[in-house]
Chain A
């Protein structure tokens, strides 16, 4: 990272820290959503962008983690700080199980992607029939007073969730930056570019791919717990749905797969685009269900056709941040 990039990053961070004090509740909620998507996209990027393993079922980890921490709180009053660890353990176990089965049996590419969808769908239907977590009717966490910061139970005003997510995003950024420069990062990139060649060089590709899955699922578990305590309701139909997986991966892909800024930029662009379209349509009085998504789809088409590597690599060159 050159000095210019470091400076811009610093300015961005300061802006993000003061932002909640300058905007209304609506903008704050949009900003929180952006940070949530940026963080989760970063987590997905570890698996796909770094190690080249395409997961189309990351909603699995969001949902499982949300349900584990949510159910502990709902049934036993156990706060999210304890629930978080269990959620991470369960999600990593899920991830490793899928990774083990897939990588042992030599499943890769499209087949691996479809396997991840299958596991997510399987789990979704499973939770639909699990009475302990409310089945299809959902599970609702008690909403505490909105004005008091109860950090122990992670209940509080929207601004608390914003800062929590900002902290997570910053942490994830640093972790990913260090990972990319580490031995694991170089091994992953070697595997991503050419797995056979990596293997020929003596890299235990199975082990490093498993590490990528474990890290990615652990990071995604944190956003699942956040989701549960921020939205306070969990429905299998929503949290495990394939559209949620797509929402997670659109950001990094539009922003730039395998880059550090891609997931963040992608989350910003897509969320603002989605909200911008809503506002524009409302202003024109075209509030017919579906119109927004059609526009969204068209923009997606245009971006993916004309910017095959995502927005960030092109933008970075324009800003003089990379050669």
Chain B
């Protein structure tokens, strides 16, 4: 299993951006076009949004695959010093593939592969905040076998286990000032891949009428524990005072539990309105701690102190013609980052997401799904206060302005 997962990670190159910490809410083109709603929607993407909806689909078999290009940018500046920086992050490419098969009227089976977490942020090397991060590349791929059961005309359930394989590569300078004799900044690269973990998801759906679905979905917390990571130190002064030699590391990265409740309501024949409320239990992310195996190297404690956060999602669908279904949406995404813990590796303040998209019905069986997201962040004055040198706090302050664009394309085959 591990080898398969690893292979998948390597070949899919899912380098992604953020959305609520390092959560990337891009798990389906139909759903994203409607503000990434879906807990109360029955669609080819239900496997992720609410497995209980799978069995309610009218299709015997469906495959939905797709991906997104994520263009995310962060700008930083400090008016006191004039320091400024811009990220030059590579294009993120989150992907998904959902297969569902309706075995009987009351039972559907499915398999999903998707990438709901990830973060690739690349600042210029040795920028003003390089003691916190130069670059980070976090990737995780989820594989989810799923079962969906219709218990009653009004009531279905669904769920399944989740197998995760993740990797992280993180580079930062050791301090604000340490250099080798030639002035090259001392830095460390933490690398861990093939980190596996498991979790689960479960959902319910009430369908009290043809027009109304009420959904509920829970995704469990998953802790990625890197036991075989490495730390590579570069540009270290040749001195017993700086005993930084390459070593192994252990570290943990939590992927928080998520609860979603919401509904879809069909009206005026061709219209559908969706509302999802997400609650992400980010308070599990208290600290990013790196334990260096070499006893001469002090362990690294990086307080994060995330708080639970909510996202409010609204979506609208209009079946314009036989060929075209149009969608639009909006969401407000609360940041899990508290004041004073604004770390530049996940520079997240509250954001507003504007989405749109369409499905083109090529034939009865083929659909092309397209979507677009513009994620807007307000300019924010923020600081990370938990950084210390020699026991003295040295807050990293500045003004951040971020944005992200994400066009997506998908294919659905159904029968």
Same assembly: no
